[in-house]
Structure 1
């Protein structure tokens, strides 16, 4: 699985003008299931993200996790994280999981974050979503379970 994590002061996702998910302080997690992914990949990624120490402590150092600060997560599916730009100018997405698997792993991952004690809001798999965020820092981190 691939994830792009952004520390945010706030974030929201809308579809057709309707807000589906909205958080204050926390993490915006853009997530993509890749071919060959398993529940184990989602388990490891959710546990790692829940404990990722990217929030400031009392000394201003990144030393606290989203759990530590009582933050939330907005989880948004984004198959374009599978983009292969090695050939030409049009990205290919053939390494992304099939839509059925992608949706299943998306839902599973979001539930695994919940089991870590993090309130989770979500987008809508496969929808044309509008994501708004106020990146805090900015802090943006790329994670991939295959590396």
Structure 2
């Protein structure tokens, strides 16, 4: 029986280098040459199986790379959205502060105008009062 094992170790797995190990375990019958012939006959199937396995591994790694790329892109997009939200919030706060300052300025002008008008009224009322001396005349 032919058993196939693909061994991927360490950094070589990332570089795409694979070590192919195969062994032939017979049932103990027959001569050594027949075992060797069995291996030779199985080589095309072995190579095809190995190619399928390596293709499957590459597709799997590609899928994970795509998922990782998508995840990083998603995180980057969230960062952009967060920056936009913070910028918009800052703009809203700045606009609210500008409106508050304008309202305070208008209130200060209104208070000043009111004070000056009340001062004028008091002066006029003093001037318009009839003195008791004038009444006796």
Asked if TM exceeds 0.5, the reply is: no
Which structure carries more relative contact order (alpha carbon 8 Å, separation 6+)? 1
- Give the alignment's TM-score, normalised by structure 2: 0.28
Flag the structure with higher strand content. 1
Higher helix share: 2
Larger radius of gyration: 2
